[in-house]
């Protein structure tokens, strides 16, 4: 479990929560303003992005830890395993965007600010929070396997929704353009990336914990 009494941890939680909810609300506003389909379908598409879902998880997590740390959900979000899994997810968001997707478009104005918050600032803040405040004791390598359920369910949902609507939020999982074979290879690569990052963070946690022993 994590301790939330320090001013520094509360500061990190507050900043991340405010920026996170602002970015999510701004992106929803922008996608509705620039919609090419109905509002209902636009909202479905909004929640079809791994970036949005993961930033939503982060925003809920830090808000609960800030306001209700002793509640049932607060205790769950306080667990090292939970916080490390979320760190893996939001790190992947940042890495994939900045390595693969950033160069595919050039957002301007509010869209640029929102994009940087969702893909760079929030990931960095949460990674920093993990390093500074999350207890590392007790993390084991075998614990990473359940962490893959979320990205796997996301891929399954995206495939089903894409087959029905023809809409795919990311080019590397676009079955229409790439075919199922290539998408399966890309999915395997992503799951491998999730696995490797999970094991890396657990290794870092073990090293940091050993240093405190």
Per residue in 151-170, pLDDT tens?
999 999 999 999 999 999 98
Position 146 in a domain: yes
Position 178 in a domain: yes
Segment holding 28, helix H or strand E: helix 7-33
Tens of pLDDT, residue by residue over 103-155, are 878 889 999 999 999 999 999 999 999 999 998 888 999 999 999 999 999 99
Position 99 in a domain: yes
Please list the helix, strand and coil fractions of the chain in percent, rounded to the nearest 5, in that order. Answer: 85, 0, 15
The per-residue pLDDT for 155 is: 93
Is residue 70 helix, strand or coil? coil
Position 2 in a domain: no
pTM of the predicted model, to two decimals?
Answer: 0.92
Q: How many domains does the chain have?
A: 1
Position 1 in a domain: no
Structural domain containing residue 68: 7-212
Contacts within 8 Å (CB) and 24+ apart, 22-26: 22/117, 23/55, 23/114, 23/117, 23/118, 23/122, 24/52, 24/55, 24/56, 24/59, 24/118, 26/110, 26/113, 26/114, 26/117
Nearest residue to 122 via CA among 199, 3, 17:
17
161, 167 in Cβ contact below 8 A?
yes
User: pLDDT band for position 5 (50/70/90)?
Assistant: low
Tens of pLDDT, residue by residue over 98-111, are 998 788 788 899 99
pLDDT at 45 over 70: yes
Tens of pLDDT, residue by residue over 53-93, are 999 999 999 999 999 999 999 999 999 999 999 999 999 99
């Amino acid at each position: 479990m994590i301790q939330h009494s320090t001013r520094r941890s509360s500061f990190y939680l507050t900043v991340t929560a405010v920026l996170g909810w602002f970015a999510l609300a701004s992106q929803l506003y922008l996608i509705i303003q620039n919609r090419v389909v109905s509002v209902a379908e636009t909202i479905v598409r909004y929640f079809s992005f791994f970036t949005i879902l993961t930033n939503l998880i982060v925003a809920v997590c830090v808000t609960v830890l800030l306001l209700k740390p002793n509640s049932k959900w607060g205790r769950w979000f306080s667990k090292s395993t939970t916080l490390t899994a979320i760190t893996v997810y939001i790190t992947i968001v940042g890495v994939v965007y900045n390595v693969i997707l950033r160069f595919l478009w050039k957002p301007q104005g509010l869209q640029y600010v929102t994009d940087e918050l969702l893909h760079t600032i929030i990931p960095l803040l949460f990674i920093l929070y993990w390093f500074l405040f999350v207890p590392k004791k007790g993390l084991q390598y075998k614990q990473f396997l359940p962490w893959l359920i979320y990205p796997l369910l996301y891929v399954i949902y995206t495939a089903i929704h894409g087959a029905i609507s023809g809409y795919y939020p990311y080019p590397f999982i676009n079955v229409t353009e790439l075919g199922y074979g290539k998408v399966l290879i890309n999915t395997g690569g992503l799951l491998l990336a999730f696995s490797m990052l999970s094991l890396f963070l657990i290794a870092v946690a073990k090293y940091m914990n050993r240093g405190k022993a």
